[in-house]
């Protein structure tokens, strides 16, 4: 399983528009075959700082995701809303509890 954290710092004036684009990318990403979870959060101590927390079955699933129309459009369309470049961390992981094991085998 691969876990991705993608961080976004958004111009406060562009917040609502950014969030509309997030809504458009969430459902199709969650529906992708290799996706385990695809979540989005705002950092409570840093307004307009957001993170996607994603779990994918494998690198192939991520590659397929990154080539989808909804993902490529999202990345292109939100560029003008950001105060700095997107920062992405990737981790290879294995399940430590039964719930995670269930998700790994989906």
CATH of the domain at 16: 3.30.70.100
In a domain, 105, yes or no: no
**What is the model's pTM?**
0.86
CA distance 60 to 78: 25
- What is the per-residue pLDDT across 16-31, written as a single tens digit (0 to 9) for each? 999 999 999 999 999 9
What is the arithmetic mean of pLDDT over 26-54?
Answer: 97
**Structural domain span for residue 38:** 2-92
Which burial class, exposed, middle or buried, applies to 25 when counting CB atoms under 10 A from its CB (0-12, 13-18, 19+)?
buried
In a domain, 37, yes or no: yes
CA distance 14 to 16: 6
In a domain, 97, yes or no: no
In a domain, 66, yes or no: yes
In a domain, 100, yes or no: no
Overall number of domains in the chain: 1
- Count the Cβ atoms, other than its own, within 10 Å of residue 98: 8
CA 24 to mean position of chain CA atoms: 12
């Amino acid at each position: 399983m691969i876990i991705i954290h993608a961080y976004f710092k958004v111009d406060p004036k562009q917040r609502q528009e950014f969030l509309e684009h997030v809504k458009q990318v969430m459902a199709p990403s969650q529906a992708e075959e290799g996706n385990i979870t695809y979540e989005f959060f705002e950092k409570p101590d840093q307004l307009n700082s957001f993170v996607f927390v994603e779990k994918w079955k494998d690198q192939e699933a991520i590659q397929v995701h990154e080539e989808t129309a909804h993902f490529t459009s999202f990345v292109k369309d939100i560029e003008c809303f950001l105060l700095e470049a997107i920062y992405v961390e990737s981790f290879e992981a294995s399940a430590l509890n039964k719930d995670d094991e269930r998700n790994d085998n989906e």
